[in-house]
């Protein structure tokens, strides 16, 4: 039976489009129009979420290796003193060239509200203005800040996870490799939401093309913005494109979810397989009949509700890292 979009998601997508046909894709390499389009969609989908009750945020900054001041936003429950708490470092999506922590405020606050786990979001710099390695260096600086300031923030450094969606999921995966290479601050878990992992994903799957909300031209544009002429060559590092991984030994345990109609499906499933081959505990959810970022388009759909429940459970699991039963 051929692929079909989940009816609840299809209806929500139709409502978002307002009866208009899907716009013709911009040429590969056209960043500005895509940035405006995707940030506009994020503004609508995330902005339509109700504000999370009882969550506040505080802004900090930390220097990047080149001296740039990186904005960090600490989301936490109001009037809830933190002591020996888990925490999540969050890296937003946007195809490597779009997005911001301002756009992601409501979704991050939603996770914090549901889990009581505080999040530190990193305003990493975007390509193509800031190509690799700048974005991942900014993310690593954010992780180092969280570890260095753990005592004042009430965080247990053995229970810090990294989480991200789409491009942010790719950066989250890449960060685990940076930590391994540098013997850096440890991560207890990686929580990857339909992560963007493989710069070589350029051959369209005809079964997915009709449903793709993030298509192959978008993908080529994002990777070229990040990697330039190195995109697709043998010289791409695993800290740029984590699908280049040959050995997952030593990586933190993994949670990953992705839609069946997402162009990242195969690279994500393969990443989970490689982790399993190295003995890294990995949890995979492949949601049938849904494209990239479907839960933002149709948050009330059954598949979106289930995905959110799974992510919340994955976040909550870091509370018990290194703990005895009942403690």
Catalytic residue among 85, 166, 303, 317: 166
75 is catalytic: no
**Active-site residue 262, yes or no?**
yes
CA distances (Å), origin 38, targets 44, 289, 303? 10, 22, 22
Measured distance CA(71)–CA(52) in Å, rounded: 22
For residue 114, the 8-state DSSP code is H
- The alpha carbon dihedral of 29, 33, 39, 42 has a sign of negative
Residue with tokens 């990193």: 122
- With vertex at residue 101, the alpha carbon angle to CA 130 and CA 68, rounded to the nearest 5 degrees, is 40
Task: Return the sign of the alpha-carbon dihedral for residues 176, 73, 315, 317.
Answer: positive
From 177, 287, 292, 317, active-site residue: 292
Q: Which is nearest to 193 in space by CA: 162, 165, 161? A: 165
Q: Which of 165, 262, 268, 303 is catalytic?
A: 262
How far apart CA 87 and CA 160 sit, in angstroms, is 5
Q: Return phi, psi of residue 181, to 5°.
A: -65, -40
184: CB partners within 8 A, 6+ apart:
140, 143, 144, 178
Q: What is the β-pairing status of strands 119-122 and 85-91?
A: parallel
Q: What are phi and psi of 112, to 5 degrees?
A: -65, -40
Q: Is 69 a catalytic residue?
A: no
User: What kind and span of H or E run contains 88?
Assistant: strand 85-91
Helix/strand/coil for 288: coil
Residues catalogued as catalytic: 166, 262, 292
């Amino acid at each position: 039976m051929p692929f079909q979009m989940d009816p609840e998601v299809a209806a929500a997508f139709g409502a978002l489009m307002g009866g208009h046909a899907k716009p013709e894709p911009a040429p590969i390499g056209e960043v500005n129009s895509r940035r405006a389009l995707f940030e506009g969609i994020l503004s609508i989908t995330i902005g339509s979420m109700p504000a999370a009750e009882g969550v506040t945020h505080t802004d900090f900054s930390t220097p990047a290796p080149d001296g740039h001041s990186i904005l960090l936003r600490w989301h936490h429950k109001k009037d809830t003193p933190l002591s020996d708490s888990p925490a999540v470092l969050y890296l937003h999506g946007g195809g490597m060239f779009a997005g911001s922590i301002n756009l992601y405020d409501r979704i991050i606050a939603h996770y914090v509200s549901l889990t009581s786990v505080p999040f530190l979001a990193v305003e990493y710099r975007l390509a193509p203005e800031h190509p690799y390695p700048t974005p991942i260096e900014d993310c690593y600086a954010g992780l180092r800040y969280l570890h260095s300031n753990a005592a004042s923030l009430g965080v247990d450094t053995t229970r810090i996870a990294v989480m991200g969606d789409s491009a942010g999921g790719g950066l989250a995966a890449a960060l685990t490799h940076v930590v391994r290479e540098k013997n850096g601050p440890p991560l207890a878990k990686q929580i990857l939401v339909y992560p963007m992992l493989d710069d070589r994903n350029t051959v369209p799957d005809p079964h997915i093309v009709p449903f793709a909300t993030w298509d192959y031209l978008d993908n080529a544009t994002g990777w070229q913005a990040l990697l330039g002429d190195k995109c697709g060559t043998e010289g791409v590092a695993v800290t740029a494109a984590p699908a280049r991984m040959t050995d997952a030994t030593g990586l933190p345990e993994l949670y990953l979810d992705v839609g069946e109609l997402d162009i990242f499906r195969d690279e994500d499933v393969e990443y989970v397989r490689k982790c399993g081959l190295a003995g890294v505990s990995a949890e995979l959810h492949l949601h049938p009949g849904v494209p990239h970022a479907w839960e933002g388009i149709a948050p009330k759909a059954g598949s979106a509700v289930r995905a959110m429940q799974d992510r919340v459970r994955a976040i909550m699991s870091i509370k018990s890292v290194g703990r005895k039963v009942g403690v």
